[in-house]
Chains A and B, each alone.
Chain A
Amino acid sequence: MTVTINGTTGLATDSTSAVVEAVSLNHPSSSTAAITMDASNNVTLASNLTMTGGIYLGGSGSANLLQDYEEGTFQTTLAPETSGTITIQSTADTLAYTKIGRLVTVTGMVSIVSTGSAVGSYVRLSNLPFASADLTEFAGRNGGAVTFNDNSAGTKTTKAIIVLESSTLVRIYVDASTVGGSDDFYLSFSYTTT
């Protein structure tokens, strides 16, 4: 028997069997079931689910709780480790982020318009959208790589990065003096937040 709770016609069943094999729920303004549940306990929603709390996945402990999803953009800056300046084009300083639980993924490209006597063994990328985590021992540290497009040299190379704990900073390990106007950094990395 399928039990249908329809906002217009009310409660209905499709047979006299006492065994409920499926349940569906319709909104009065829609002929499509908003919620259905089948005999295998699969629940299907026809549209979006809005939750102000989280959802436990695979268990009921705090480590199973997925509380947050968010996507958006942020603007960043670059600076050499030791001295000098690196200026990003104002039309190419916005990066995208996607946060799923405590994991933040950053993607995008920044283009450099000019540099001034840049010195240092790394370039500092600032203003991450969420502060990085400070977890047990060094579990909050994150590493990865980005692509450095050196237009003057005509090369594309991979540069190591690290995300410091409890900060909004990324170090891109490239000799700052080799970074020049029209160079780009292609970014795709993830880090943990609180």
Chain B
Amino acid sequence: MALEKVISEDKIEIVGDFKILQIRTKTTVMEDGVELSSSFHRHTITPGSDVSGESVEVQAIANAVHTAEVIAAYQAHLAAQEV
């Protein structure tokens, strides 16, 4: 009877015009290969964010989709919502 905790980024989504990344981290407790329980933890990455602490996969995606144009458009979008 071996217990194991497995942490994985099980879902990475690119959302909307500004390519916001939604990353879901799943923590699974396994017993002899059978899932006993799991929980989710999420974080998001907006254009222009520091991704140095992210996984190699997430960094690659962010670098590909968060172009200078997208970053500029996102900043302009936020500024346009001043209320």
Q: A: which residues have CB within 8 A of B?
A: 70-75, 97, 127-131, 134, 141, 162, 164-169, 194
Judge whether B46 and A168 touch: CB under 8 Å. yes
Judge whether B41 and A166 touch: CB under 8 Å. no
Judge whether B43 and A74 touch: CB under 8 Å. yes
**Known contacts A72-B24, A131-B16; A165 and B81 CB within 8 A of each other:** yes
Sample of 9 A–B contacts (CB below 8 Å)? A74-B42, A75-B41, A130-B22, A131-B18, A131-B20, A162-B83, A165-B77, A166-B20, A168-B20
Q: B: which residues have CB within 8 A of A?
A: 15-18, 20, 22, 24, 39-44, 46, 77-78, 81, 83
Give the residue name and chain of the A residue nearest to B26 (CB): A72
Judge whether A73 and B41 touch: CB under 8 Å. yes
Residues from chain A with Cβ under 8 Å of B46 in the complex: 167-169
Main SS class of interface, B:
strand
Residues from chain B with Cβ under 8 Å of A141 in the complex: 81
**Contact check: which of A70, A128, A134 meets B44 at CB < 8 Å?**
A128
Judge whether B41 and A72 touch: CB under 8 Å. yes
**Known contacts A131-B15, A194-B15, A194-B16; A169 and B41 CB within 8 A of each other:** no
Residues from chain A with Cβ under 8 Å of B40 in the complex: 70-73
| Among all A-B residue pairs, the 3 with the closest Cβ atoms | A72-B40, A129-B42, A131-B20
Residues from chain A with Cβ under 8 Å of B78 in the complex: 164, 167, 169
**Known contacts A134-B16, A166-B18; A129 and B77 CB within 8 A of each other:** no
Residues from chain B with Cβ under 8 Å of A73 in the complex: 39-42
User: Closest CB of chain A to B46's CB: distance in Å?
Assistant: 6
Judge whether B44 and A168 touch: CB under 8 Å. yes
Complex alpha-carbon distance, A74 and B81, angstroms: 25
Judge whether A127 and B43 touch: CB under 8 Å. yes
Complex alpha-carbon distance, A12 and B40, angstroms: 44
Judge whether A134 and B83 touch: CB under 8 Å. no
Judge whether A129 and B43 touch: CB under 8 Å. yes
Give the residue name and chain of the A residue nearest to B21 (CB): A131
Judge whether B43 and A134 touch: CB under 8 Å. no
Residues from chain A with Cβ under 8 Å of B39 in the complex: 72-73
Complex alpha-carbon distance, A130 and B18, angstroms: 13
Judge whether B42 and A97 touch: CB under 8 Å. yes
